[in-house]
Amino acid sequence: MAECRMPEEFYEVASRHLPPDEPVGRQGGRPRIKNRAVLKVIWYVLTTGCRWHDVPPEMGCSGETARTRPNTAAHRESSGGELGRRGR
């Protein structure tokens, strides 16, 4: 798994294009998985060719969460959410 590690330089560039990590709201709830963990899993799947379902738990994020996170961000952008407002 060491050769599949996401380079720090990639994260530095990619993180500029991601919305900030969100804290838990006033009503509580489950904390959102950090962007770094999601990118790490996406990098792992792309470099190893494994299925989303087969991502090792020690990656810090499930493959399903990493697979659906870009869709969540795209939905927020198209509905005028925070991500959409930042680009204007």
Instruction: Convert the pLDDT of each residue in 3-33 to its tens digit.
Output: 678 999 999 999 998 888 888 888 888 888 9
47 falls within a domain: yes
Q: Is 23 a domain residue?
A: no
Confidence band of 88 (pLDDT split at 50, 70, 90) = very low
Q: How many domains are there within the chain?
A: 1
Mean pLDDT of the chain: 82
Does residue 68 fall inside a structural domain? yes
**Alpha carbons 23 and 53: distance in angstroms, whole number:** 27
Whether 41 shows a pLDDT value over 90: the answer reads: yes
Tell me, what amino acid is at 11? Y
* Higher pLDDT among residues 67 and 2, named by residue: 67
Rounded to an integer, what distance in angstroms lies between the CA atom of residue 21 and that of residue 71?
A: 16
Domain span at residue 65? 2-10+32-86
Residue 21 lies in a domain: no
